[in-house]
Amino acid sequence: MRSPAELTEAFRAHGLKVTPQRQLLFRLMHGNECHPTAESLFQSASEQMPGISLRTVYQTLNDLASMGELRSLDLGTGAVRFDPNIDEHHHVVCDRCGDIRDVYVSGSDALSIQGLDGFAVSNTSILFNGLCPRCSAVSE
């Protein structure tokens, strides 16, 4: 995702308005590596801007996602996650604490795949589940 300043430019260039709510979300998402949900962003946003609505958070995030500025991820954790990292990457979810981290996979062209015959695949996502270092230490 581009910087708040660049997004401001881009929004205005496209005839979209730059509201305080949007700017706040630009800031909250920029460089955010937590893979937050709309709800958790709403919490953060509410601290700085009491009265902001959850609907606006959803709206803005979805808009950013459809502009390609961020990615919305369904990692099977209940709510959709928003990710400003739009590089090709995958994820690992800690099934105990819910922590999510980026995973970079290379060499997938060497995979032997059976069953995709005729399919025009537009996206491939790999999801790892398990216990994060902290949680696996605890459960020993």
Applying CB under 5 A, the residues found at the interface with Mn ion are 83, 85, 102
Question: Does residue 62 touch DNA according to CB under 7 A?
Answer: yes
Based on the shown chain and the rule CB under 7 A, indicate whether residue 44 belongs to the binding site for DNA.
no
In the list DNA, Zn ion, Mn ion, none, the entry touching 85 (Cβ below 5 to 8 angstroms by class) is: Mn ion
Q: Which is nearer to a copy of itself, 22 or 81 (CB)?
A: 81
CA 79/CA 49 separation, integer angstroms: 23
For residue 38, state whether it binds DNA (rule: CB under 7 A): yes
Binding residue count for a copy of itself, defined by CB under 8 A: 39
Residue 116 has phi, psi (to 5 degrees) of -100, 5
Q: What are phi and psi of 90, to 5 degrees?
A: -125, -175
96 binds Zn ion (CB under 5 A): yes
> Cβ distance 1 to 84 under 8 Å?
yes
Determine phi and psi for 37, rounding to 5 degrees: -90, 170
Binding partner at 128 among Mn ion, a copy of itself, DNA, none, C-beta below 5 to 8 Å by kind: a copy of itself
Residue type, 67: M
121 touches a copy of itself (CB under 8 A): yes
Regarding beta strands 90-94 and 71-73, do their DSSP bridges make them parallel or antiparallel, or are they unpaired? unpaired
